[in-house]
Amino acid sequence: MTTPPILDQEPADQRRFGDEADEARGIGVAALRFGAALVVPILSFVALWLTFEFLRNTEANRLIVVTVAVLVGVVGVWLLYWGMDLVINQLPDHVAAGIRPAVFVGPAIVVLSVYLVYPAINTFLISFKEGDDFVWFKNYGTIFTNSSYLVSIRNSILWVIVVPAVAVAVGLAFSVLADKLGKRSESIAKSLIFLPMAISFVGASIVWRFIYSFRPPGFGEQIGLLNGIWSGLLGNEPIAWLLQEPWNNLYLMIILIWLQTGFAMVILSSAIKAVPDDLLEAARIDGATEWQVFWRVVFPSISSTIVVVTTTIVITVWKVFDIVWVMTGGKFGTSVIAERMITEFFLFRNAGIGAALAVILFIAVIPIMIINVRKFRQQEAAR
């Protein structure tokens, strides 16, 4: 029996040693990746924490506070990523490729945790407190049994029903009508309708305060546009529009509809233009009227876009407080959840009720976000 030559065993030994080296290298890369993903967030968190502690110092010089905020927020972030990239580039390519994602995602995790996760958890905990004592669901019970809070919930639900429906309907009508115009006329019309989107909610509220303005007798002439038409042209007595319950809620909703119609129009107009011309021509050849073409061809084709636009506006409506705050301050039966949350938390210093209202608002938005994400994924999958 002959002994196998040694040369035949060397390739197997080399492969075994090579596999062990690859395994050790993979373990090393994994360890470095874990360490980088752990160390960078910790260092970033410590740096942010120390910065926040300094910025909260009321005795510090304001100029120095602003300078530190700018340096940390702009220059510090740039230096952080530049320094990490410089260090990673010194490593071998196969090691750098495995570590770079973990290192660069670390600060993002810190920022999300500090500004999103921690506030959400802390707000949830505060909603169970009254002062420093845990009262568990007492705040929620107060909200759903006290008439003033129930008015806010009722008004918010009305806003969520009326504003998205009207804004989307009017935006859809404008987008269809503008599509029938020439290119130049269409651009001008869309620009005029979209123009309110450039105005902040507070700015729009101030504009509409002049429209709804009312001056009691003896306090000067009426300067409100609506009262000017109502009394000057129609000969009626001036009306305090924002005191007319419950119609004053509708008057406030008109402001947000005015702001959001342009957004709905632009998105829906793009969706309409994406409908294939072949489908439209086939429907017309089969004898369909323009009304039938819209409802049986165009509308089903853009239904997913309509849902996305509607849910986006619904989220905006749930969070609105600027308009109510500027126009009425939540008085005269016009309060909404977001406005009441700000009032309770910052004016009345009732952190428990304010946090509970914030949690209710957060829970109300979650299903809408889920619907929005699903529709967006369906749109992406259909492309």
What pLDDT was estimated at residue 383? Answer: 61
- Indicate whether 159 pLDDT > 90: yes
- Indicate whether 226 pLDDT > 60: yes
The CATH code of domain 140-382 reads: 1.10.3720.10
What pLDDT was estimated at residue 129? Answer: 85
Rounded to an integer, the average pLDDT of 317-334 is 88
Q: pLDDT-based confidence at 20, cuts 50/70/90?
A: low
What pLDDT was estimated at residue 18? Answer: 53
Query: Start-end ranges of CATH 1.10.3720.10 in the chain?
Result: 140-382
What pLDDT was estimated at residue 65? Answer: 75
What does the DSSP 8-state code read for residue 368?
Answer: H
Q: What are phi and psi of 320, to 5 degrees?
A: -70, 130
Amino acid at 353: I
Query: Rounded to whole angstroms, how far apart are CA atoms 36 and 76?
Result: 18
Rounded to an integer, the average pLDDT of 233-243 is 82
Q: What is the pLDDT of residues 79-102, one digit of tens each?
A: 777 777 777 777 777 777 777 777
Q: What is the pLDDT of residues 48-80, one digit of tens each?
A: 677 777 767 767 777 787 787 777 777 777 777
Query: Rounded to whole angstroms, how far apart are CA atoms 179 and 266?
Result: 11
Q: What is the dihedral of CA 320, 326, 327, 328, to 10 degrees?
A: 90
- Indicate whether 257 pLDDT > 90: yes
Diameter over CA atoms, the chain = 125
Query: Rounded to whole angstroms, how far apart are CA atoms 36 and 40?
Result: 6
Query: Rounded to whole angstroms, how far apart are CA atoms 126 and 123?
Result: 5
Q: pLDDT-based confidence at 249, cuts 50/70/90?
A: very high
- Averaged pLDDT score across all residues of the chain: 80
Cis peptide before 246 (omega within 30 of 0): yes
